[in-house]
Amino acid sequence: MLQFFAKYKTLAIVLAVLSVIIIIVIYSILKPTPKLPVYQPDMVNAELVDTTVQYVRKYHKIADFNLVNQNGETITQDFYKDKIYVADFFFTTCLTICPIMTDNMLHIQEKIKNDPEVFLLSHTVFPVADSVPVLKKYATEKGVIDAKWNLVTGDKKHIYDLARKSYLASKTDGDGGPYDIIHTENFVLVDKSRRIRGFYDGTDSQAIEKLMDDIKILKAEYNQ
């Protein structure tokens, strides 16, 4: 009996290894690949969406934009072409949710600083006060990496339209007055096709970790 097992030992090992490989392959085929949803306006809380786009069910994308960053450079959608990015809305003198959001953006920046596919974009909702020099001072104090993270200002209506009609991230469209400020804690994950792939509470550390995991899922989607 021992001679029999000794004779076929190699064959048994080969068959065992093949069996393991086959099981792994079958599991990989049957296991669904995680994929993030593509958010449309009709999928989002209507309070966060402008009435003109609330019932859009497909093809929603971030609109073209033209803003100015902390270095006085014009930033358009072309800067983020073929890039994944995280967007939010803040203002430099905010003392409530914005400092927490900025800290969490800094956490994300640290994680993606060497990743050529992922960037950050923060829009001021108080452009009358957040001029380019103010944004530059804020960026320097906070440790913003210019190559990874744009803090942008510009026409207030343009920024508010982006918040309500593109990023679907604000509960108010404002009355247009200089001191009327929207407040939103949402971080928005945008893919390389300018589509929204996730919303996250920018004041919640667990939501930020979920965002980081979702960035990995989104990157894997492009690398398949």
Neighbouring C-alpha atoms within 13 Å toward the C-beta of 122: 30
Name the nearest CA neighbour of 164 among 182, 180, 176. Answer: 182
Report yes or no: 103 and 88 within 8 Å, Cβ to Cβ: no
The string over 118-154, giving b where at least 16 C-beta atoms fall within 10 Å of a residue's C-beta and e elsewhere, is bbbbbbbbbbeebebebbbebbeebebeeebbbbbbb
212 exposure class (CB count in 10 Å sphere: 0-12, 13-18, 19+): middle
Q: Is 107 annotated as a binding residue?
A: no
Q: What is the DSSP string of 83-122?
A: -EEEEEEE-TT--SSHHHHHHHHHHHHHHHTT-TTEEEEE
Binding site annotation covers 60?
no
Residue that the structure tokens 């989607």 belong to:
221
Q: Is 123 annotated as a binding residue?
A: no
- Residue listed under structure tokens 């009435």: 51
State the alpha helices, DSSP H only, in the chain.
Answer: 2-7, 9-30, 98-112, 132-142, 156-161, 205-223
Structure token pair of residue 16: 């065992």
Binding-site annotation: residue ranges: 94, 98, 183
Known binding positions for Cu cation: 94, 98, 183
